[in-house]
Amino acid sequence: MPTVLVTGASTGIGRATALALAPTHTVLAGVRRLEDAPPGTTPVQLDVTNREQVAALRALPRLDALVNNAGIAVTSPLEHLPLDELRRQLEVNVIGQLAITQAVFAQLRAARGRVVNVSSIGGRMALPLYGPYAASKYALEALSDSLRREQREVKVILIEPGAIATPIWDRGIATADSLWAGMPPDAHARYGALVTGMRAQARKLGTEGVPAETAAALIVRALHARRPRARYVIGREARVQAALARVLPDRALDAVLAAGVRRLLNNH
């Protein structure tokens, strides 16, 4: 059976993908705690920022595909964002993804395998307060495009979900609330309404977003396609955002997003 490494396999898209692949693949489930690995998979203790754990992947005898899914979401008004939080966001979502890819690229090349990088529609359109997260996804898109164009042995595929009903929303809200509590009164006065409205929207998307299994099914399809696309967009809202980002000038897009934010604030 083909061997696939799925990072961030304990919850959300990663877990759903590992479960979907398990019947037909040897799935190496990258998890921070071994007990969190999905049933039917082989647990691999893997924090993408842990150099020793990443380096240990070089000893894998075989690998046919890598699904880079591990990630976090940091949101904040950029004016008051602690720079260490931006560093943490990029360390996990960008540097960690490339570190994993580098560690196993020899095996992937030998197998003429595939790398699937789980990005976001936020890698094409940066929303208010989502600057840190969007920056990490824009960067992941750039790395993926470059890697795809630098070589031909390994196919490189981007998955661009919109809102997916996964625990990343709850964790992101918890992190945002902690950051928000430490910000000065001026930040609360200037951004309070925006933060309240966007937080409520994030909670809604965390329960009403596209099921993680839908994203997993598309990842499986991309792994098996004879000629996979460079990008797959998941969800109706994400497809609309992608179309707007493609056709609208920046100022027009700014106006559309501003109108959406106003509607959101009026509802809260």
Quick one: pLDDT at residue 206? 65
130, 133, 191, 232: the catalytic one is 133
Do residues 120 and 160 touch, judged by C-beta distance below 8 A? yes
Give the rounded percent of residues in the chain with a pLDDT score beyond 70.
97
Residue 130 bears catalytic tag: no
Do residues 206 and 170 touch, judged by C-beta distance below 8 A? yes
Whole-angstrom distance, CA of residue 254 vs CA of residue 252: 5
Per-residue pLDDT band for 113 (boundaries 50, 70, 90) equals: very high
Evaluate if residue 188 carries a pLDDT over 90.
yes
Give the rounded percent of residues in the chain with a pLDDT score beyond 90.
80
Whole-angstrom distance, CA of residue 42 vs CA of residue 146: 31
Beta-bridge mates of residue 5: 28, 66
Delineate the domains of the chain, giving CATH numbers in brackets: 3-266 (3.40.50.720)
Strands (E), the chain: 3-6, 26-31, 42-45, 65-68, 114-118, 155-161, 164-165, 210-211, 231-234
Per-residue pLDDT tens for 213-232?
Answer: 999 999 999 999 999 999 99
Tell me the average pLDDT across 90-116.
Answer: 98
Q: What is the mean pLDDT of the chain?
A: 93
Per-residue pLDDT band for 169 (boundaries 50, 70, 90) equals: low
Encoded tokens for 191: 């951004």
Helix, coil or strand: residue 59: helix
Per-residue pLDDT tens for 36-83?
Answer: 999 999 999 999 999 999 999 999 999 999 999 999 999 999 999 999
